[in-house]
C-alpha cells in the first residue's frame, strides 16, 4: 500500500484555514528537536517562546504593542500580494513614513493642539505611500520588477534615516547622541488603558484590519485587486487596468507601512534613532502569508508572531537563548506553511500497487 | 602618483565584485533552468558564517569554502524541495530562505562575533604579489581567480555542452522538455543546488577577502544586488562579469569616499553608502528602457512545473 | 507488406483512471508493420491519454503493451524511442528561443556533434522532400515548419512506429496534402503509423484501419475506406448527429458593427500585427473569420473587445466610434466578447462562477452600487446562466476551475449571451469542447443572431464556420481577405487564402506574415 497525491477538484477552504495552525504547531515540535540538537534546551525554548507570553498576563500588553505594527503592515502587504504585486520593501516604507511624520513633528514641536498628532499620522501615511510610489512608477512606466526596487529602496531609506539623525535632525540637547528631540505630549500616541503601555495604535490596527476586510470582500476595488492578482489577462478582459492596480496595491501597502512607522516613532520609540528599523517590515511578510493574505487572518497571525518576539525576549533572560533563535522559528513557520499549501490543492489518496507495476 | 591611486582602487574593486559575481553566476544557472530563488542573500549569510566558523576552528581556508558551499547548497535544497516537489510559490519560499539564513547565521555566528579571521591571500609567491604593478594580476585571493574561471565554465556549460542545452530547454519550456523525456524537476534540483553552492562561496568572500570577521548581516544586501545583476546581464555570463565589476566600482567609490577627504566630503557618506542600491535601480530602469519591455528571461522563470498528465 | 503475422504494436486491456474520470477502459487493438492506423474519437475520448502511455509519458493502471509480440513496459519516452517509437505532438514540444538544430538535438538520446547532426538532418529533409532551415530560431517559423521539426526529430531515430497526434489541426489544406505524401512514403518503407484525429475525411483519405474510441472505450475497429463519414461519425459521437437549425433565407438589418482600417502594430517580438482590417456585420448576421492559428486572431480579438485600444473610428458599435474605449465602455455600448482561452482569460479558475459573472456583467446588469458589489444580484444571474445553458455545476458558488472545459465554455457563452449584447465577438467557441456542448453552443449563437445581434466568430474550424456563418473572410499574416458569402465559396479557395495569397504550390512556405516575423 502506498500513498499518492491527487489533485482536488477545487482548492480546499478547510485546508486553507487549518494549515497555518498546523504549521505553527509543527514549528514547535521541529523547533524543540532542532534546538535540542544545537545544544540548547529545546523544550524550554518552545515553552518560553510560545507559551510564557500567553500564560503571563504581564506580557499581554507587550503582545499588543508588538502586534500593532505587524498587523498594520501585514494588512497592507496582504492587499499587495493579493494583486500579485510583490512589495517586499515595507521596512523602507515604514522608515520613510516615520521620517515624514517626524518631519511634521519637528515643524510643530513648539505648538500645541489636538490636530498635531493626526497630522503626523497623515504625514506618515503619505510618506510611506510616496516611497512606495517610486517602485509603482518604475513598474508601470518601465516594467521594472518591484521585488528588487522595493528592497533596494529599503537599504536607501536606512541611509536616509542615518543621515537625518546624525546630521540635520540631531537634537541639540542630545549631547552628541544621534537622535531627534523627544516628541511632545501632543505629538505622542495617547494611552488608552490607564496603567498599561497599550496606546491608540492597537485599536487603530484592529480598525484597519476590519476596514480592509470589508473593502477587499465587498467592494469593486477589492474585486479588482483579487482579479488582477489571480489572472491579469482575465482582469484586463473584465475591464480592470493592471497598471492602476499596481499603483493602488503599492500605495495602500506603502501607506499602511508608513502609518505603522509613525505610530512606532510616536509610541514605543518617542523619537527617531538609528536603531529605529527593527525588521517589522520583513516579519510582516511572514504575518501576511501566515494570515492567508486575509485581514482577519493577519490579526491572528500578527498576534502569533508578536508572541514569538515577546517570548524570544523572555527566553533570552530565562534560559539564555540568543534572540536570533526567534528568526529561525519564524522562518520555520513560513517554510512549513508553504509546504503545507500542497494540501490545499491536493489530497492524499491510498493506492494499491497494481499488477502492471509489480510485474515491471 | 596616479598608479598609486589606481592600483588600490582596482584591487578593492575586484574584491568587492567577486561575491556578487559568484552569487550571480549561481543564480544565473538556477534561473536558466526556470527557478527564481530569492534566497541568495540568506544563502550567502549561511556561507559566510560557516566559513568563519570553520576557519577559526581549523585554520583551513579551502575546507571552510567547501563547507560553506555544502551548507548553502543544503539550504538551497530546502527551497528546492518546497518549490519543486511541493510546487510552493517561489517568491515566498525564497523570502523565507533569506529570513531563515539571516536568523541561522545570527544564531550560529554568536560565538565568533568580532573574532579576527585570517584573510585568504594570493596563492602566488609574495614577491610577485607585492610588486605594486604585478599586484593587479597576482595579488588576489584564490576566490577571485575561481570566480573568473567559473565565468568561462558557466558559459561553456550552457552554450557548449549537451547538459547545458537540456538545462536551457527545461527553463525555456518545461512541458516540452517533460514530454520529450527529460526530468524537469531533477534538472532544476541540480541547478538550484549549484546556485546555493555558489552563493555559499560568495558568502565566503566576505570574511576571507572583505571584512575579516563575523558580524550579523555581514552581506548587507549584496545578495539582492546579485539578483539584479542577473537581470542586468540578460542571463549571459560575460555580461554578468562586466556588470559585477561595474558594481564593484560603485562600491569601491563608497569605501574611498569614507576614507578620503576633499571632493568626496561634499556629499554625505550616507549617500555614498546608498549609491550601490540607487545604481541598481537606475540600471534596472535603463535595461528595461532599452529592451522596450520585452525581456530575454527564460520563459518558465518563476513558474511552478505542473504537468497536466 | 502487411503479411507479417506479428503486429508491430498490440494493446491489451489498457486502463487508465484520473480523479473522477476513467480515461481509458480496457482498450485493445493492434497495428501491423507498414500500416497507417487511425485512432478516431471526440475530444476527451481518451486518445491522447492512450498515446501518452504508448510513448511512456504515463503508465497504465492495468493492461499490457506488446511490441513485436513481446510484452514491454515503457517507463519513459526514452525507453519508447529505444524501442523505435517516434512521436509528433499535437502541441509541439518545441523550444521557441532555440534553433531548429538545438531542438532536434534535444530530441535525440545521445550526443551527436553539431556538424554530423546537420548533415543527417539535411539528408532526412532531402529524402522526404521537406523544406526547413536548420539554423533558424523556432519562434520565427510558421506552424507547418514547426511540425516539420518534430517530424525530422522523430525520423532521425528510424522509428518503426510513428505516432501523430492531431497533426493537421493547425495546417492549411495544402500543408495537409504534403504531410500525407510523407506519411505514405514512410508506410511504404515499412514504418507503422498511428494517426490520431477526429477529421473523418482525412482518415478516409489516408488510413488502412481505424479504431474508434468513445468515452475511453473502443467502440469499433473498421476499414475507413468502406465506411462512410457519417457512419464513422455516428460511432464516434454515439447518438445520432444533431444538425444546427438555421432558418433558411434569413434577412439582415442595418450595419451594427463596422471595422474600418483597423491597424495594430506588432507589440511582441514574435506576434502578428494587424494591417488595415475592414469588415461590416449587419444585425442578425453571423460573420466568420477563418485562418490558421497565429495569423493575428488573438490580436484581432483584443482590439475588438477593447483590451487594446485603437483609433476611435476604426471600430464603430451601432454607429458610435468605439476604438478608443475600454472593455467596460464597449460593453456599455453593447459589445460582449468571448476570448479563446477559457481559464485565465474569459474566466478566472480560482473564482466562483458568481464572481466570474461580476467580472464582465457587473455594469450591464447593475451588480454594483456605490462601489460595492451586490453579490445577491450576481448569484441570481449566475443561477439563470447555469439553468438556461444546462451548465453542469454545483451552483453559483462553484469555482470556474472545477468545471469541465465544455461546461465552462457553456457558462461563459451564457454569461455573455444573457447580457443581450447587440454585438457578440467569439473566438474558437467550441475548441476542445465535446460534441454535445458544441451543438448547444452553436444553437445558442444562431438563436442570438435571430434576435438581431451582429455576431463575429473567429475560428480555425472550417466545418464550424461553414455550418454557422452567413459571410466568411480569411485572416492571414494580420490581413483580412474580402468577405465571401458562404455557399458561393469553395473549400479550396478558402484553403489557398489561409496559406497566403502566394499559396498556390504546396512547397510555398513564405507568406507575408512570416517575412515580417524574421528579426532584423
Q: Is B304 on the interface with C (CB under 8 A)?
A: no
- Does C321 have pLDDT greater than 90? yes
Q: Do A322 and B110 touch (CB under 8 A)?
A: yes
Residue B179: list chain C partners with CB under 8 A: 57, 77, 89, 93
Q: What is the DSSP string of C166-207?
A: STTTTS-HHHHHHHHHHHHHHHHTT-EEEEEES-HHHHHHH-
**Chain C interface, best mutation among B163, B176, B300, by max C CB count within 10 A:** B176
- Residue C3 in any domain: the answer is no
CA angle, corner B46, sides to B43 and B52, nearest 5? 140
Average pLDDT (C122-149) is: 85
Last residue in a domain, options C183, C205, C237? C237
Query: CA of A288: which chain B residue's CA is closest?
Result: B92
Question: C199 and C298: one domain?
Answer: no
Q: Is B163 on the interface with C (CB under 8 A)?
A: no
Q: Do B281 and A322 touch (CB under 8 A)?
A: no
Q: Do C75 and A360 touch (CB under 8 A)?
A: yes
The pLDDT of residue A256 is: 98
User: Percent of chain C beyond pLDDT 90?
Assistant: 50
Question: C79 and C178: one domain?
Answer: yes
* pLDDT greater at residue C70 or residue C517: C70
The pLDDT of residue A58 is: 84
The pLDDT of residue B230 is: 92
- Within 8 A by CB and 6+ apart from C357, the residues are C367, C378, C381, C382, C385, C396, C415
- Within 8 A by CB and 6+ apart from B106, the residues are A322, A324, A327, B216, B217
- Residue C467 in any domain: the answer is yes
Q: What is the mean pLDDT of each run of 10 residues along chain A (360 residues)?
A: 68 88 94 90 92 89 94 98 95 98 95 94 98 97 91 94 93 87 92 86 96 96 95 94 95 98 95 93 94 95 95 91 89 92 80 43
- Does B262 have pLDDT greater than 70? no
Q: What is the pLDDT of residues B18-50, one digit of tens each?
A: 999 999 999 999 999 999 999 999 999 999 999
**Chain C interface, best mutation among A8, A234, A359, by max C CB count within 10 A:** A234
Give the Cα separation of B268 and A167 in Å (integer): 9
Residue bearing cell 477502459: C25
Question: C415 and C434: one domain?
Answer: no
Last residue in a domain, options C237, C254, C281? C237
Average pLDDT (B92-118) is: 92
Long-range contacts formed by A290-295: CB under 8 A, 24+ apart: A290/A20, A290/A23, A290/A24, A290/A333, A290/A334, A290/A337, A291/A20, A291/A74, A291/A78, A292/A16, A292/A17, A292/A20, A293/A78, A293/A81, A293/A82, A294/A78, A294/A213, A295/A75, A295/A78, A295/A209, A295/A210, A295/A212, A295/A213, A295/A216
Query: Bridge partners of C259?
Result: C279, C315
- Residue C460 in any domain: the answer is yes
- 3-state SS class at C275: strand
First to last CA, chain B: 69
The pLDDT of residue A248 is: 96
The pLDDT of residue C498 is: 74
- Residue C107 in any domain: the answer is yes
- Cell readout for B166 is 537540456
CA-based nearest distance A100→chain B, Å:
18
- Cell readout for B211 is 571584512
From C88, C65, C113, C292, select the one nearest C191 (Cα to Cα). Answer: C88
* pLDDT greater at residue C15 or residue B298: C15
- Residue C516 in any domain: the answer is yes
Minimum mean pLDDT among A21-35, C101-115, C300-314: which range? C101-115
CA-based nearest distance C156→chain B, Å:
14
Q: With cut-offs at 50, 70 and 90, classify the pLDDT of residue C436.
A: confident
The pLDDT of residue B278 is: 93
Say which of A88, A148, A160 has its CB closest to residue B95. Answer: A88
DSSP letter (8 states) at residue A181: P
Helix axes A90-107, A116-142, angle to 10 degrees: 140
Last residue in a domain, options C237, C267, C299? C237
Question: C223 and C353: one domain?
Answer: no
Give chain B's domains with CATH numbers: 2-291 (1.10.3470)
* pLDDT greater at residue B157 or residue C140: B157
**Chain A interface, best mutation among C15, C298, C351, C356, by max A CB count within 10 A:** C351
Q: Do A239 and C331 touch (CB under 8 A)?
A: yes
Average pLDDT (C351-366) is: 94
Q: What is the pLDDT of residues B76-92, one digit of tens each?
A: 999 999 999 998 989 88
CATH code: domain of residue A275 = 1.10.3470
Q: Do C97 and B176 touch (CB under 8 A)?
A: no
The pLDDT of residue C163 is: 94
Q: Is A145 on the interface with B (CB under 8 A)?
A: yes
Question: C316 and C386: one domain?
Answer: no
CATH code: domain of residue C323 = 3.40.50.300
The pLDDT of residue C518 is: 32
Say which of B82, B221, B289 has its CB closest to residue A155. Answer: B221
- Does B232 have pLDDT greater than 90? no
Q: With cut-offs at 50, 70 and 90, classify the pLDDT of residue B137.
A: confident
Residue C93: list chain B partners with CB under 8 A: 173, 175-177, 179-180
- Within 8 A by CB and 6+ apart from A47, the residues are none
Question: C202 and C269: one domain?
Answer: no
- Residue C133 in any domain: the answer is yes
ipTM attached to this prediction: 0.89
Please answer whether residues A99 and A161 qualify as being in contact, where contact means their C-beta atoms are separated by less than 8 angstroms: yes
Minimum mean pLDDT among A307-316, C188-197, C429-438, C468-477: which range? C429-438
From C486, C508, C479, select the one nearest C496 (Cα to Cα). Answer: C508
Average pLDDT (C80-109) is: 87
- Residue C4 in any domain: the answer is no
Question: C404 and C498: one domain?
Answer: no
Minimum mean pLDDT among A354-358, B274-278, C342-346: which range? A354-358
* pLDDT greater at residue B193 or residue C230: B193
**Chain B interface, best mutation among C24, C44, C106, by max B CB count within 10 A:** C106
Say which of A11, A220, A230 has its CB closest to residue C371. Answer: A220
The pLDDT of residue A354 is: 44
**What total of structural domains would you count in chain C?**
3
- Residue C445 in any domain: the answer is yes
Q: Is B102 on the interface with A (CB under 8 A)?
A: yes
Q: Is A357 on the interface with C (CB under 8 A)?
A: yes
Average pLDDT (C347-376) is: 93
Question: C364 and C513: one domain?
Answer: no
From B277, B234, B232, B235, select the one nearest B254 (Cα to Cα). Answer: B277
Long-range contacts formed by C379-387: CB under 8 A, 24+ apart: C379/C354, C381/C357, C381/C418, C382/C353, C382/C354, C382/C356, C382/C357, C382/C415, C384/C418, C385/C353, C385/C357, C385/C411, C385/C414, C385/C415, C385/C418, C386/C353, C386/C411, C386/C414
- Does B15 have pLDDT greater than 50? yes
Helix axes A280-290, A90-107, angle to 10 degrees: 130
Q: What is the pLDDT of residues A269-287, one digit of tens each?
A: 999 999 999 889 999 999 9
Range of the domain at C210: 9-237
The pLDDT of residue A196 is: 84
Q: Is the Cα torsion angle B153, B159, B161, B167 positive or negative in sign? A: positive
Query: Bridge partners of C64?
Result: C12
Question: C347 and C472: one domain?
Answer: no
Q: Given a contact as 3+ CB pairs under 8 Å, which chains touch B?
A: A, C
Question: C42 and C164: one domain?
Answer: yes
Question: In the sheet that C255-264 helps form, which strands lie side by side, from edge to edge?
Answer: C274-282, C255-264, C315-317, C320-321
When the pLDDT of each residue in chain C is averaged and rounded to a whole number, the result is 85
Q: With cut-offs at 50, 70 and 90, classify the pLDDT of residue C239.
A: low
Query: CA of B283: which chain A residue's CA is closest?
Result: A144
C217: left (phi over 0), alpha (psi -120 to 50) or beta: beta
The pLDDT of residue A356 is: 41
**What total of structural domains would you count in chain A?**
1
Say which of A220, A234, A238 has its CB closest to residue C373. Answer: A220
CA-based nearest distance C348→chain A, Å:
6
Question: C261 and C122: one domain?
Answer: no
The pLDDT of residue C19 is: 67
Range of the domain at A303: 2-359
Please report how many Cα atoms fall inside a 13 Å half-sphere around the Cα of residue A86, on the Cβ side. 15
What totals of helices (H) and strands (E) does chain C contain, helices first? 17, 23
Q: Is A10 on the interface with C (CB under 8 A)?
A: yes
Query: CA of A151: which chain B residue's CA is closest?
Result: B224
Question: C255 and C215: one domain?
Answer: no
The pLDDT of residue C505 is: 34
Q: Do A327 and B278 touch (CB under 8 A)?
A: no
Q: With cut-offs at 50, 70 and 90, classify the pLDDT of residue C2.
A: very low
Interface size A-C, in CB pairs within 8 Å, comes to 85
Residue B168: list chain C partners with CB under 8 A: 95, 98
- Does B261 have pLDDT greater than 70? no
Residue C309: list chain A partners with CB under 8 A: none
Q: With cut-offs at 50, 70 and 90, classify the pLDDT of residue C506.
A: very low
- 3-state SS class at C268: coil
Average pLDDT (B210-222) is: 90
The pLDDT of residue A357 is: 40
Amino acid at each position: 500500500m502506498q500513498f499518492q497525491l491527487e489533485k482536488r477538484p477545487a482548492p480546499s477552504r478547510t485546508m486553507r484555514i487549518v494549515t497555518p495552525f498546523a504549521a505553527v504547531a509543527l514549528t514547535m515540535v521541529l523547533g524543540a528537536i532542532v534546538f535540542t540538537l544545537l545544544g540548547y534546551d529545546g523544550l524550554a525554548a518552545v515553552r518560553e517562546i510560545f507559551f510564557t507570553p500567553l500564560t503571563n498576563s504581564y506580557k499581554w500588553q507587550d503582545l499588543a504593542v508588538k502586534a500593532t505594527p505587524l498587523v498594520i503592515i501585514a494588512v497592507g502587504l496582504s492587499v499587495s500580494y493579493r494583486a500579485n504585486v510583490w512589495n517586499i520593501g515595507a521596512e523602507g516604507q515604514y522608515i520613510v513614513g516615520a521620517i515624514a511624520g517626524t518631519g511634521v513633528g519637528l515643524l510643530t514641536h513648539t505648538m500645541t493642539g489636538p490636530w498635531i498628532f493626526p497630522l503626523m499620522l497623515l504625514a506618515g501615511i503619505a510618506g510611506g505611500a510616496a516611497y512606495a510610489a517610486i517602485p509603482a512608477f518604475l513598474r508601470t512606466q518601465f516594467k521594472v520588477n518591484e521585488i528588487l526596487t522595493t528592497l533596494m529602496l529599503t537599504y536607501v531609506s536606512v541611509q536616509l534615516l542615518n543621515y537625518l539623525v546624525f546630521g540635520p535632525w540631531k537634537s541639540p540637547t542630545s549631547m552628541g547622541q544621534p537622535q531627534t528631540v523627544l516628541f511632545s505630549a501632543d505629538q505622542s500616541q495617547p494611552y488608552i488603558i490607564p496603567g498599561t503601555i497599550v496606546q491608540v495604535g492597537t485599536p487603530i490596527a484592529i480598525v484597519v484590519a476590519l476596514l480592509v476586510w470589508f473593502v477587499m470582500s465587498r467592494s469593486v476595488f477589492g474585486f479588482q485587486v483579487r482579479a488582477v492578482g489571480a489572472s491579469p489577462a482575465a482582469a484586463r478582459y473584465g475591464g480592470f487596468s493592471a497598471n492602476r492596480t499596481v499603483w493602488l496595491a503599492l500605495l495602500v501597502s506603502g501607506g499602511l507601512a508608513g502609518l505603522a512607522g509613525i505610530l512606532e516613532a510616536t509610541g514605543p520609540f518617542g523619537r527617531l534613532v538609528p536603531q529605529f528599523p527593527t525588521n517589522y517590515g520583513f516579519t510582516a511578510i511572514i504575518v501576511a502569508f501566515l494570515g492567508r493574505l486575509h485581514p482577519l487572518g493577519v490579526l491572528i497571525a500578527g498576534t502569533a508572531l508578536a508572541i514569538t518576539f515577546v517570548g524570544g525576549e523572555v527566553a533570552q533572560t530565562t534560559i539564555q537563548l540568543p534572540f536570533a533563535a526567534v528568526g529561525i522559528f519564524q522562518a520555520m513557520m513560513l517554510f512549513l506553511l508553504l509546504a503545507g499549501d500542497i494540501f490545499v490543492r491536493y489530497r492524499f489518496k491510498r493506492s494499491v500497487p497494481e499488477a502492471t507495476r509489480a510485474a515491471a | 602618483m596616479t598608479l598609486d591611486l589606481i592600483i588600490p582602487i582596482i584591487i578593492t574593486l575586484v574584491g568587492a565584485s567577486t561575491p556578487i559575481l559568484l552569487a550571480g553566476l549561481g543564480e544565473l544557472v538556477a534561473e536558466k533552468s526556470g527557478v527564481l530563488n530569492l534566497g541568495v542573500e540568506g544563502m550567502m549569510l549561511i556561507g559566510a558564517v560557516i566559513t568563519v566558523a570553520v576557519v577559526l576552528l581549523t585554520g583551513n581556508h579551502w575546507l571552510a569554502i567547501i563547507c560553506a558551499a555544502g551548507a548553502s547548497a543544503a539550504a538551497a535544497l530546502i527551497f528546492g524541495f518546497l518549490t519543486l516537489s511541493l510546487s510552493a510559490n517561489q517568491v515566498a519560499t525564497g523570502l523565507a530562505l533569506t529570513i531563515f539564513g539571516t536568523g541561522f547565521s545570527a544564531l550560529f555566528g554568536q560565538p565568533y562575533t568580532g573574532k579576527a579571521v585570517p584573510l585568504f591571500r594570493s596563492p602566488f609567491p609574495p614577491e610577485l604579489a607585492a610588486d605594486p604593478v604585478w599586484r593587479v594580476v597576482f595579488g588576489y585571493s584564490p576566490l577571485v581567480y575561481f570566480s573568473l574561471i567559473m565565468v568561462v565554465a558557466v558559459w561553456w556549460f550552457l552554450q557548449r555542452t549537451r547538459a547545458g542545452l537540456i538545462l536551457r530547454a527545461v527553463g525555456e519550456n518545461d512541458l516540452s522538455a517533460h514530454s520529450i523525456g527529460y526530468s524537469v524537476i531533477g534538472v532544476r534540483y541540480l541547478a538550484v543546488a549549484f546556485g546555493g553552492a555558489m552563493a555559499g562561496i560568495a558568502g565566503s568572500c566576505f570574511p576571507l577577502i572583505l571584512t575579516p570577521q563575523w558580524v550579523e548581516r555581514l552581506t548587507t544586501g549584496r545578495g539582492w544586488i546579485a539578483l539584479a545583476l542577473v537581470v542586468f546581464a540578460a542571463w549571459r555570463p560575460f555580461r554578468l562579469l562586466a556588470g559585477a565589476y561595474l558594481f564593484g566600482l560603485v562600491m569601491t567609490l563608497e569605501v574611498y569616499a569614507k576614507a578620503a577627504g576633499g571632493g568626496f566630503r561634499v556629499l554625505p557618506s550616507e549617500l555614498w553608502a546608498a549609491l550601490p542600491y540607487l545604481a541598481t535601480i537606475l540600471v534596472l530602469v535603463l535595461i528595461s528602457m532599452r529592451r522596450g519591455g520585452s525581456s530575454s528571461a527564460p520563459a518558465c522563470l518563476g513558474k511552478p512545473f505542473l504537468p497536466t498528465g | 507488406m502487411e503479411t507479417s503475422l506479428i503486429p508491430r504494436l498490440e494493446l491489451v486491456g489498457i486502463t487508465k483512471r484520473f480523479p473522477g474520470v476513467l480515461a481509458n477502459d480496457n482498450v485493445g487493438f493492434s497495428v501491423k508493420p507498414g500500416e497507417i492506423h487511425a485512432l478516431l474519437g471526440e475530444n476527451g475520448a481518451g486518445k491522447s491519454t492512450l498515446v501518452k502511455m504508448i510513448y511512456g509519458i504515463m503508465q497504465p493502471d492495468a493492461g499490457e503493451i506488446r511490441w513485436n509480440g513481446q510484452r514491454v513496459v515503457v517507463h519513459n519516452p526514452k525507453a519508447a524511442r529505444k524501442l523505435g517509437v517516434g512521436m509528433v505532438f499535437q502541441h509541439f514540444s518545441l523550444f521557441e528561443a532555440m534553433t531548429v538544430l538545438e531542438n532536434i538535438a534535444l530530441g535525440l538520446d545521445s550526443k551527436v556533434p553539431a556538424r554530423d547532426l546537420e548533415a543527417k538532418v539535411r539528408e532526412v529533409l532531402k529524402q522526404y522532400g521537406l523544406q526547413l532551415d536548420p539554423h533558424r530560431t523556432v519562434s520565427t517559423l510558421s506552424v507547418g515548419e514547426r511540425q516539420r521539426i518534430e517530424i525530422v526529430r522523430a525520423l532521425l531515430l528510424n522509428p518503426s512506429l510513428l505516432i501523430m497526434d492531431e497533426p493537421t489541426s493547425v495546417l492549411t489544406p495544402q500543408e495537409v496534402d504534403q504531410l500525407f505524401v510523407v506519411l505514405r512514403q514512410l508506410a511504404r518503407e515499412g514504418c507503422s503509423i498511428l494517426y490520431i484525429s477526429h477529421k473523418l475525411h482525412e482518415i478516409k483519405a489516408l488510413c488502412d484501419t481505424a479504431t474508434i474510441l468513445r468515452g475511453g472505450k473502443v467502440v469499433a475497429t473498421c476499414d475507413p475506406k468502406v465506411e462512410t463519414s457519417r457512419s464513422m461519425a455516428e460511432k464516434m459521437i454515439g447518438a445520432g448527429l444533431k444538425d444546427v437549425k438555421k432558418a433558411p433565407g434569413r434577412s439582415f438589418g442595418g450595419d451594427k458593427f463596422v471595422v474600418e482600417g483597423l491597424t495594430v502594430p506588432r507589440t511582441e517580438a514574435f506576434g502578428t500585427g494587424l494591417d488595415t482590417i475592414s469588415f461590416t456585420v449587419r444585425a442578425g448576421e453571423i460573420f466568420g473569420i477563418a485562418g490558421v492559428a497565429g495569423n493575428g486572431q488573438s490580436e484581432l480579438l483584443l482590439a475588438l473587445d477593447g483590451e487594446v485600444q485603437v483609433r476611435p473610428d476604426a471600430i464603430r458599435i451601432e454607429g458610435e466610434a468605439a476604438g478608443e474605449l475600454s472593455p467596460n465602455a464597449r460593453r456599455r455600448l453593447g459589445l460582449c466578447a468571448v476570448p479563446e482561452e477559457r481559464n485565465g482569460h474569459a474566466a478566472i479558475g480560482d473564482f466562483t462562477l458568481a464572481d466570474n459573472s461580476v467580472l464582465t456583467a457587473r455594469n450591464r446588469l447593475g451588480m454594483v452600487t456605490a462601489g460595492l458589489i451586490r453579490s445577491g444580484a450576481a448569484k441570481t444571474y449566475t443561477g439563470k446562466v447555469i439553468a438556461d445553458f444546462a451548465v453542469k455545476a454545483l451552483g453559483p458558488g462553484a469555482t470556474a476551475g472545477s468545471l469541465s472545459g465544455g461546461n465552462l465554455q457553456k457558462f461563459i457563452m451564457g454569461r455573455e449571451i444573457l447580457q443581450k449584447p447587440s454585438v457578440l465577438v467569439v473566438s474558437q467557441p467550441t475548441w476542445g469542447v465535446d460534441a454535445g456542448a458544441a451543438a448547444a453552443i452553436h444553437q445558442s449563437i444562431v438563436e442570438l443572431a435571430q434576435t438581431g445581434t451582429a455576431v463575429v466568430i473567429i475560428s480555425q474550424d472550417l466545418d464550424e464556420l461553414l455550418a454557422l456563418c452567413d459571410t466568411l473572410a480569411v485572416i492571414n499574416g494580420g490581413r483580412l481577405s474580402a468577405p465571401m458569402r458562404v455557399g458561393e465559396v469553395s473549400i479550396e479557395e478558402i484553403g489557398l487564402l489561409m496559406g497566403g495569397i502566394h499559396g498556390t504550390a504546396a512547397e510555398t512556405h513564405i507568406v507575408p506574415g512570416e517575412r515580417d516575423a524574421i528579426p532584423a
